[in-house]
């Protein structure tokens, strides 16, 4: 028994903020943002948009493509570090919005790796016969936790959601996944406030938001992803020449190019959306996947490598037949 992606969907807020608009908000330039990251614009949520609402919209579209209804869904997982509220968790809110009842529903706060972590767990449930049709979602409203006065981070992030329907299948779908993490890097990328540590800094009106030591994160990301690519191919017993598409986490075009080089893959076989979406953390891979499925680039039967890296640090990969 395998699990296989039966449908993809995504949701992006209407509001698009270009680099030119960012220039009016902080001391930056379009040239700096493009050359360092590849980002040209990002979508930002309006007041009526939330992580659960975007998740539900993306899920609805994935379910439509898969031809399944709320009654078919027996597992819901949402990767997000920007839930609407602390609890109920976002996945239960998605259940409620879509009329899904009586199945596991939980969220994962593994930052940019949230979608791949969710995919790996849902795959295990399906392979063990404990679920037949899972919703796996990655969604973020990062604009709500960004420090809009900090030019080193605020230009990088965007909002959005992506989802897949993962169904039990006798044909191979997900071939292997790898999840990993190393907490010793926690301080390099964080949102260092929360219910247990307290929100005092925020209450005191101090600037607060995502904090990142960008150049250090960059180095560890490139090295870790390079190792991860080898580990994934080894584990699956697949040669890199078999990969049709790399669908990477969209943090920085230069990190994506390094991964493509490692695979000897021309950039034409890499799905790149960072220029349009910015870094949407857990949403970035399912968003990119949906874009390339809907524009006809990714076709049934092709072999895809998904890889991600983010706060924690956490990282992970999935090698799959689409």
**Active-site positions?**
112, 249, 279
**With CB under 6 A as the contact rule, which of the stretches 69-77, 192-200, 211-219, 234-242 interacts with ligand UT7?**
211-219
Q: Is 310 in the site for ligand UT7 (CB under 6 A)?
A: yes
**With CB under 6 A as the contact rule, which of the stretches 158-166, 191-199, 215-223, 288-296 interacts with ligand UT7?**
215-223
What is the rounded CA–CA span in Å between residue 190 and residue 146? 11
Q: Specify whether the CB–CB gap between 57 and 8 falls below 8 A.
A: no
Q: Is 211 in the site for ligand UT7 (CB under 6 A)?
A: no
Applying CB under 6 A, the site for ligand UT7 has a residue count of 19
Angstrom distances, CA of residue 214 to CA of 18, 242, 262, 294 = 21, 33, 22, 33
We find the least distance from the C-beta atom of residue 261 to ligand UT7, in angstroms, to be: 16
Helix (H) or strand (E) holding 134: strand 133-141
Considering only 251, 265, 271, 288, the residue that binds ligand UT7 (CB under 6 A) is: 251
Q: Is 142 in the site for ligand UT7 (CB under 6 A)?
A: no
Q: Specify whether the CB–CB gap between 94 and 52 falls below 8 A.
A: yes
Q: Is 257 in the site for ligand UT7 (CB under 6 A)?
A: no
Q: Specify whether the CB–CB gap between 150 and 212 falls below 8 A.
A: no
Q: Is 112 in the site for ligand UT7 (CB under 6 A)?
A: yes
Considering only 30, 180, 214, 258, the residue that binds ligand UT7 (CB under 6 A) is: 214
We find the least distance from the C-beta atom of residue 97 to ligand UT7, in angstroms, to be: 27
Q: Specify whether the CB–CB gap between 177 and 120 falls below 8 A.
A: yes
What is the rounded CA–CA span in Å between residue 182 and residue 159? 26
């Amino acid at each position: 028994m395998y699990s296989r992606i039966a449908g993809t969907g995504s949701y992006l807020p209407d509001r698009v903020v270009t680099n030119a608009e960012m220039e009016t908000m902080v001391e930056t330039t379009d040239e700096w943002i493009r050359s360092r990251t590849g980002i040209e614009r990002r979508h930002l949520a309006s007041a009526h948009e939330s992580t659960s609402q975007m998740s539900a919209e993306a899920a609805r579209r994935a379910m439509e493509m898969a031809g399944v209804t709320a009654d078919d869904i027996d597992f819901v997982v949402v990767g997000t570090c920007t839930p609407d509220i602390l609890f109920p968790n976002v996945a239960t809110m998605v259940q409620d919005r879509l009329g899904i009842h009586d199945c596991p529903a939980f969220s994962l706060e593994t930052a940019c790796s949230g979608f791949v972590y969710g995919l790996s767990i849902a795959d295990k449930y399906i392979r063990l016969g404990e679920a037949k049709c899972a919703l796996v979602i990655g969604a973020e409203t990062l604009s709500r936790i960004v420090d809009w006065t900090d030019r080193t981070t605020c230009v990088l992030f965007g909002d959005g959601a992506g989802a897949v329907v993962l169904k039990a299948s006798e044909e191979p779908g997900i071939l292997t996944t790898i999840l990993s993490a190393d907490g010793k890097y926690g301080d390099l990328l964080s949102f260092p406030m929360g219910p247990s540590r307290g929100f005092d800094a925020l209450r005191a009106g101090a600037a607060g938001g995502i904090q990142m030591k960008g150049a250090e994160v960059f180095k560890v990301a490139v090295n870790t992803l390079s190792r991860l690519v080898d580990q994934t191919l080894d584990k699956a017993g697949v040669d890199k020449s078999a990969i049709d598409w790399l669908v990477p986490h969209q943090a920085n075009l230069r990190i994506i190019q390094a991964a493509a080089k490692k695979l000897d893959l021309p950039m034409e076989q890499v799905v790149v959306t960072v220029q349009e979406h910015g870094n949407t953390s857990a949403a970035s891979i399912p968003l990119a996947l949906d874009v390339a499925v809907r524009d006809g680039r990714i076709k049934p039967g092709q072999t895809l490598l998904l890889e991600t890296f983010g706060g924690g640090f956490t990282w992970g990969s999935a090698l799959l037949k689409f």
